[in-house]
Chain A
């Protein structure tokens, strides 16, 4: 949706992320989170007690730590009793909840954070437990296998080729050379097939990381940030969970979310797409009708760092940071969850001229 008439505009005013790494064995989730929480607070001069609403995204399944999100809350300083919420998915959806909360006018600042510790388990198997338990989960199809079915459908439909996918991987990893937080940086070999037609280079690295951002409304945003990234629209949509019902070469949910968020009203400068697999960038570019004038994933995207449950929030943060730095005027950020781009969130961020 776009903000209803009469509501105070809301902006992203600060963003921080960890250096994403293959393993973080020495850290609990609260220990991993604290530096990014302190960084966004320091950037705005806010203290935890000043924050009106706190919302987080994560999944206990990644590290097998029950109720880890309640323990991670220790890192926020949940005292005096705070207004707090958690989504059991990517932090981009926590961002959406916080945006709606601020639009109600109930508060004027929100802290959003997300983290993922994928290194503790076998991510491909762990993610298979999110599938429907009747017809799909008993077969244990892993996340790469499902993405590979989508890639094959795209190749058969003539929307991409193996070399075109390799080029997406190469561009992403080359762009990541300028991203000090990325897990895979610079030229990376396309590698061997993992699940054909996807090669290692078509797949995201497995790793751990966290991210946080602060939202503020109206004049508060202008006080806290020289050039706020105003949220001019955000929307999220879901498709049928059964893969065999969907056209895997298309993402109507992304297109509808983008329409409702106002993406197509004016040109974009930049798009941060949450495409963990190269083939998914092909689907998203088609759904969002992105032309060559739009810079896609200058951060390297999820192919360079994919802290599961935080990678979508990182896309929003990267797009906002580009506006904070004056490098973009109008940016799109996309986040996804579920197999083969099942759920999609799109938001538009704009700087004042």
Chain B
């Protein structure tokens, strides 16, 4: 975390936060046929009860929810039904230079497909214009196998009837991965900012509820019991008592801690809520409820690395029974 520019002492902490995951989905028979078809430069639709031919195809009728399976092949040219000019493409969008978002009704289809149109400018785009698919050079069974649409200057083809398609291909695509990456600026709020700033000075602070008098650590700004702000800061610890613990036998990836090790709930002196931390400096099988511990700080780390025994006699059970 870094301190953002602003009023001294009052500026909130901020840090970049990236949420990234591969959104992995299996495909049903209709979606599998459609996306595999794109790989083979074939566009498939599905015949619906009332709405005619749906492209892109779905497995259930949008109006009646009836199961749909009757695949048909439609054209690779079509008509723009609506459009919008995007002069500043955003990250991940199909074209890096200005383009038009379009809904295109492909020849033979009764519904429209969302995609992008490569055109020199908004004056070159209009509803009703003819466009055709520009296929991606490398295709692997995804909607992006259509690189984009491009203006189709050839005369409109004679009305064509769609023809049935078996929908079966060699080596069909059965799943897709849609990567998602979102970048945020995380801000922890007033209470956690105060807590983190104190940690920078190797002090652990809780905040007291003005209503029930409980001291919460780490504080989150509100007393979950009373629903009021916890504004009064209280220094807690540094010593505390192990209230309960577990022995971890699975080595965490990218974590340089030998197993087994002990992870514990630690009630710092003066706090009314235990926080959790790793216990070190003692064999794992000698850790016990009531063990008195203190934080061990290492250079360059904002949080205590672990807690170690203080050598004091164990705390009496009655002193921490309410904190289990």
Give the B-binding residues of A (Cβ under 8 A): 25-31, 34, 37-38, 48, 61, 63-65, 71, 73-79, 120-122, 124-126, 129, 133-142, 145-146, 148-153, 156, 193, 195-198, 240, 242-245, 248
> B229 touching A149 by the CB < 8 A rule?
no
Interface residues as binary, B81-96 with A (CB distance below 8 Å gives 1, 0 otherwise): 1111111001111100
> A152 touching B227 by the CB < 8 A rule?
no
Supply 5 A–B pairs (Cβ within 8 Å), ascending by A: A25-B187, A30-B222, A152-B127, A242-B54, A244-B56
Closest Cβ of chain A to B30, distance in Å, is 10
> B101 touching A195 by the CB < 8 A rule?
yes
What's the Cα separation between A63 and B51 when bound, in Å?
A: 39
> A74 touching B176 by the CB < 8 A rule?
no
Closest Cβ of chain B to A223, distance in Å, is 22
**Closest 9 pairs between A and B when the two form their complex, measured CB to CB:** A77-B227, A28-B189, A244-B112, A148-B84, A196-B85, A240-B62, A64-B184, A74-B222, A153-B82
Count chain B CB atoms within 10 A of each CB in A25, A125, A248 and give the residue with the most.
A25
User: Does B183 count as interface, using CB distance less than 8 angstroms?
Assistant: yes
What's the Cα separation between A48 and B227 when bound, in Å?
A: 8
> B220 touching A63 by the CB < 8 A rule?
no
Chain A residues whose CB sits within 8 angstroms of the CB of B35 once the complex forms: 134
What's the Cα separation between A208 and B104 when bound, in Å?
A: 36
Chain A residues whose CB sits within 8 angstroms of the CB of B113 once the complex forms: 135, 244
Chain B residues whose CB sits within 8 angstroms of the CB of A142 once the complex forms: 90
> B127 touching A156 by the CB < 8 A rule?
yes
Chain B residues whose CB sits within 8 angstroms of the CB of A193 once the complex forms: 85, 87
Q: Given A28-B190, A64-B17, is A120 in contact with B222 using a C-beta cutoff of 8 Å?
A: no
User: Does B76 count as interface, using CB distance less than 8 angstroms?
Assistant: no
Closest residue to A76 on the B side, CB-wise?
B227
> B224 touching A133 by the CB < 8 A rule?
no
Give the A-binding residues of B (Cβ under 8 A): 4, 10, 12, 14, 17, 19, 23, 25, 27, 31, 35, 51, 54-56, 58, 62, 81-87, 90-94, 101, 103, 105, 111-116, 122, 127, 142-144, 176, 178, 180, 182-193, 220-229
Q: Given A28-B192, A148-B101, is A138 in contact with B54 using a C-beta cutoff of 8 Å?
A: no
Chain B residues whose CB sits within 8 angstroms of the CB of A71 once the complex forms: 220
Chain B residues whose CB sits within 8 angstroms of the CB of A38 once the complex forms: 228
> B114 touching A135 by the CB < 8 A rule?
yes
Chain A residues whose CB sits within 8 angstroms of the CB of B17 once the complex forms: 64, 120
Q: Given A137-B178, A153-B81, is A28 in contact with B221 using a C-beta cutoff of 8 Å?
A: yes
Q: Given A135-B114, A138-B143, A140-B92, is A152 in contact with B82 using a C-beta cutoff of 8 Å?
A: yes
Q: Given A153-B81, A242-B62, is A134 in contact with B143 using a C-beta cutoff of 8 Å?
A: yes
> A139 touching B93 by the CB < 8 A rule?
yes
> B222 touching A31 by the CB < 8 A rule?
yes
In the complex, which of the residues A27, A75, A196, A240 contacts B84, with contact meaning CB atoms closer than 8 Å? Answer: A196
In the complex, which of the residues A31, A64, A73, A134 contacts B182, with contact meaning CB atoms closer than 8 Å? Answer: A64
What's the Cα separation between A150 and B185 when bound, in Å?
A: 31
> B192 touching A245 by the CB < 8 A rule?
no
Closest residue to B63 on the A side, CB-wise?
A240
Give the total number of A-B pairs whose CB atoms are below 8 A apart.
196
Q: Given A73-B224, A244-B103, is A122 in contact with B183 using a C-beta cutoff of 8 Å?
A: yes
What's the Cα separation between A63 and B182 when bound, in Å?
A: 10
> A30 touching B220 by the CB < 8 A rule?
yes
> A134 touching B227 by the CB < 8 A rule?
no
In the complex, which of the residues B55, B94, B178, B228 contacts A133, with contact meaning CB atoms closer than 8 Å? Answer: B178
In the complex, which of the residues A63, A129, A136 contacts B184, with contact meaning CB atoms closer than 8 Å? Answer: A63
Count chain A CB atoms within 10 A of each CB in B12, B93, B115, B224 and give the residue with the most.
B224
> A139 touching B84 by the CB < 8 A rule?
no
Count chain B CB atoms within 10 A of each CB in A31, A38, A61, A63 and give the residue with the most.
A31
Closest residue to A28 on the B side, CB-wise?
B189
What's the Cα separation between A137 and B179 when bound, in Å?
A: 9
What's the Cα separation between A151 and B85 when bound, in Å?
A: 12
Give 12 A-B pairs besides A26-B189, A34-B227, A138-B143 with Cβ atoms closer than 8 angstroms.
Answer: A25-B4, A25-B187, A27-B189, A31-B191, A48-B226, A64-B184, A77-B227, A120-B187, A149-B114, A195-B86, A195-B87, A242-B58
What's the Cα separation between A137 and B92 when bound, in Å?
A: 10
Chain A residues whose CB sits within 8 angstroms of the CB of B85 once the complex forms: 193, 195-196
> A139 touching B221 by the CB < 8 A rule?
no
> A245 touching B90 by the CB < 8 A rule?
no
Chain B residues whose CB sits within 8 angstroms of the CB of A120 once the complex forms: 17, 184-187
Closest residue to B230 on the A side, CB-wise?
A74
Chain A residues whose CB sits within 8 angstroms of the CB of B178 once the complex forms: 133-134, 137-138
Chain B residues whose CB sits within 8 angstroms of the CB of A137 once the complex forms: 23, 178, 180
What's the Cα separation between A240 and B187 when bound, in Å?
A: 37
What's the Cα separation between A162 and B238 when bound, in Å?
A: 65
Chain A residues whose CB sits within 8 angstroms of the CB of B223 once the complex forms: 74, 77
What's the Cα separation between A141 and B93 when bound, in Å?
A: 7
Chain A residues whose CB sits within 8 angstroms of the CB of B186 once the complex forms: 63-65, 120
What's the Cα separation between A156 and B102 when bound, in Å?
A: 14
What's the Cα separation between A122 and B88 when bound, in Å?
A: 14
> A79 touching B58 by the CB < 8 A rule?
no
Closest residue to A77 on the B side, CB-wise?
B227
Closest Cβ of chain A to B169, distance in Å, is 17
Closest residue to B54 on the A side, CB-wise?
A245
Chain A residues whose CB sits within 8 angstroms of the CB of B176 once the complex forms: 133-134, 138
Q: Given A243-B103, A243-B114, is A37 in contact with B220 using a C-beta cutoff of 8 Å?
A: no
